[in-house]
């Protein structure tokens, strides 16, 4: 126990169990030791501990870290409140009295924030790597499907034809914004919390610049009161996971739809599908559904953290112990989902000719025909009305654009000529696109080249 001198009784068993966070913050073992070594070196620099004591402390901490990684040390969750007390107790066992000097000028309040900052650095890098890996997977698939035509949707109604490459590149854009959010977060954790103490610093002349530099921070935090109660960075990280999972959930939903018998657009590998316990014929997109389902948990973690923070007076309150469980849960769900999504898509196959005949007859090229009229000098609102009449008349006869003739068009408006019929050919629909950012195959190729270069 790191406290207790003024207490007559030890905590009740159920109270101790209820308040212990060791099961969660044991994930911060390496970071806690890293911060402790920097703190010990600073205490040696200002003359609080001798060189011999420093070597004892750092040697002991290194051994604890090694033993933990090798599974030789696993602190008893029934005996320790948190990872800080577990490490300090083990250090006493290894080196004796010198261990008692390590906590000089330090509180668990600034210690835990420092630990989380150090952990987040690694989590941000890993998240970024996993997002980038999925981007590259999407780009590889897009490169092979520049001419794979599929319907584009608004309101879940067929709107205009696009390509599979173009569709997947939309997710590449989303995921780049995800990476930018994590990159922004790096800047918010660039100041060192170590040395802030419980809430008001210390009367001991701690060299916070020294520990800040040792741990790779730009500078120390400026206000200890804010430092120990700040969890904005956790909210920022959780929000980054929320939006990242939101994007994965949207893609998962489309994979579920695309893999259905009705769509028959994607075939998932057996390695990333499951069957039914009752129906032998079933092959279910369960991994996509699980990503979609776990998104709700990540959303909930953000709301739980925001709710915890909303009424906390300055500075530290024990409520904040809940932060790490939410943080780790969202992080592991997010990076696992990214990995699963990447592997699921890498091993999937697409039915590249699925929509050619179907789109050749539907009304998804109506806008192209209206724009043809615009280029002939017809105001767009008039062109919109004219093409609307054409669609209405075809529907009344249970026909579509594949049944259309020049005579039929001229009955609607004499301005139509043979060139108008070319607007209704699905095979050349994408090539006719003129605007930057459209699914024109040449533009899509350029976009793929841009991302390949940028993701190097």
Q: What is the pLDDT of residues 102-119, one digit of tens each?
A: 999 999 999 999 999 999
Q: How far is CA 325 from CA 188, 193, 253, in A?
A: 21, 21, 28
Other beta carbons within 10 angstroms of residue 254's beta carbon come to 18
Q: If you average pLDDT over residues 280-306, what whole number do you get?
A: 97
| Mean pLDDT for all residues in the chain | 95
159-174 residue pLDDT tens: 999 999 999 999 999 9
- What band does 16 get if pLDDT is binned at 50, 70 and 90? confident
Q: pLDDT exceeding 70 applies to what percent of the chain? A: 97
Task: Give this prediction's pTM.
Answer: 0.94
- What band does 77 get if pLDDT is binned at 50, 70 and 90? confident
Give pLDDT, residue 9: 58
Tokens 């990447």 label which residue?
Answer: 342
- What band does 17 get if pLDDT is binned at 50, 70 and 90? confident
Of 201, 157, 300, nearest to 241 by C-alpha is 300
Burial 363-391 (b: 16+ CB within 10 A, else e): bbbbebbbbbbeeeebeeeebbebbeebe
Q: If you average pLDDT over residues 13-23, what whole number do you get?
A: 83
pLDDT at residue 18 above 90?
A: no
Of 340, 227, 352, nearest to 293 by C-alpha is 340
Q: How far is CA 296 from CA 11, 248, 306, 307, in A?
A: 36, 12, 16, 16
- What band does 185 get if pLDDT is binned at 50, 70 and 90? very high
Give pLDDT, residue 357: 84
Return the active site residues: 155, 276
Give pLDDT, residue 78: 87
> For the chain, what percentages of helix, strand and coil (3-state, to nearest 5) are there?
65, 5, 30
Contacts of 455 (CB under 8 A, 6+ apart): 132, 135, 136, 139
Give pLDDT, residue 400: 92
Q: If you average pLDDT over residues 335-345, what whole number do you get?
A: 98
Assigned token pair, 331 = 């992080």
């Amino acid at each position: 126990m790191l406290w207790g001198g003024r207490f007559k009784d030890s905590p009740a068993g159920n109270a101790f169990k209820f308040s212990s966070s060791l099961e969660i913050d044991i994930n911060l073992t390496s970071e806690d030791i890293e911060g402790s070594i920097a703190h010990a070196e600073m205490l040696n620099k200002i003359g609080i501990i001798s060189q011999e004591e420093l070597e004892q402390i750092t040697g002991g901490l290194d051994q604890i870290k090694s033993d933990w990684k090798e599974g030789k040390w696993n602190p008893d969750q029934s005996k320790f409140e948190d990872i800080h007390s577990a490490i300090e107790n083990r250090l006493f066992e290894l080196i004796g009295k010198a261990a008692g000097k390590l906590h000089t000028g330090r509180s668990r309040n600034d210690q835990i924030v420092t630990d989380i900052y150090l952990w987040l650095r690694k989590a941000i890098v890993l998240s970024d790597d996993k997002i980038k890996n999925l981007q590259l997977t999407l780009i590889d698939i897009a490169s092979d499907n520049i001419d794979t035509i599929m319907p584009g949707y608004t309101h879940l109604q067929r709107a205009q034809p696009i390509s599979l490459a173009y569709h997947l590149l939309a997710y590449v854009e989303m995921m780049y914004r995800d990476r930018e959010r994590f990159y922004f977060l790096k800047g918010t954790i660039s100041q060192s919390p170590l040395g802030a103490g419980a809430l008001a610093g210390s009367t001991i002349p701690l060299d916070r610049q020294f520990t800040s530099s040792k741990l790779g921070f730009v500078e120390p935090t400026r206000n200890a009161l804010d430092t120990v109660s700040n969890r904005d960075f956790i909210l920022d990280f959780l929000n980054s996971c929320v939006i990242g999972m939101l994007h994965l959930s949207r893609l998962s939903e489309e994979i579920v739809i695309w893999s259905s018998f009705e769509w028959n657009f994607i075939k998932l590998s057996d390695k990333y599908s499951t069957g039914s316990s009752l129906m032998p014929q079933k092959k279910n997109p369960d991994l996509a559904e699980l990503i979609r389902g776990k998104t709700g948990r990540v959303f909930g973690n953000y709301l739980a953290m925001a709710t915890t923070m909303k009424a906390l007076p300055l500075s530290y309150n024990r409520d904040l112990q809940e932060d790490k469980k939410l943080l780790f849960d969202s992080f592991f769900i997010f990076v696992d989902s990214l990995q699963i999504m990447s592997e699921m898509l890498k091993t999937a196959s697409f039915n590249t000719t699925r929509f050619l005949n179907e789109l050749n007859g539907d009304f998804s090229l109506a806008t192209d025909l209206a724009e043809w009229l615009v280029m002939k000098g017809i105001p767009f609102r008039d062109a919109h009305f004219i093409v609307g009449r054409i669609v209405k008349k075809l529907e009344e006869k249970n026909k579509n654009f594949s049944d259309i003739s020049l005579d039929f068009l001229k009955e609607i408006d004499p301005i139509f000529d043979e060139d108008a019929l070319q607007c209704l050919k699905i095979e050349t629909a994408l090539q006719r696109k003129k605007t930057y950012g459209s699914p024109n195959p040449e533009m899509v190729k350029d976009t793929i080249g841009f991302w390949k270069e940028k993701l190097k």
